[in-house]
Amino acid sequence: MEKLQSIYERLSNIENLLLSQKTVLNFDEVAKFTGLSKSHLYKLTSRGRIPHYKPNGKFIFFDRIEIEKWLLRNRVKTIDEIEAEAATYVTLNRRGGGKK
């Protein structure tokens, strides 16, 4: 049983590697790639919230690079970045109590 589990894990790793090499992904592949449920992905495409293509008006395809960029939007700054920005702001606006 352990050997079978090991084979399944290795097969899954191979599938993931192959998926990461493709440039055009179908609907199921994007769901797997992003970890989004298919129903949520359908909502995103129908509302125009995720970049996608419908070359024949039926099947939905995605550009992997566009999906990666979409996933990485709305970056949240680290505490260190926020503190550095605050320190810079205070330093630059010390003259006479700030801008008026």
In a domain, 67, yes or no: yes
CB atoms within 10 A of CB 12: 10
> Could you tell me where the DSSP H helices lie in the chain?
2-21, 27-34, 38-46, 64-71, 79-92
pLDDT of residue 6: 86
Secondary structure class of 69 (helix, strand, coil): helix
Secondary structure class of 38 (helix, strand, coil): helix
| Bridge partners of residue 26, in order along the sequence | 61
| Structural domains counted in the chain | 1
In a domain, 62, yes or no: yes
pLDDT of residue 97: 54
Task: Write down the residue that tokens 């109590």 correspond to.
Answer: 97
Please report, for the domain that includes residue 80, its CATH number: 1.10.10
Residue numbers of the domain that contains 83: 22-93
Intervals of the chain under pLDDT 70: 19, 95-100
pTM of this structure? 0.67
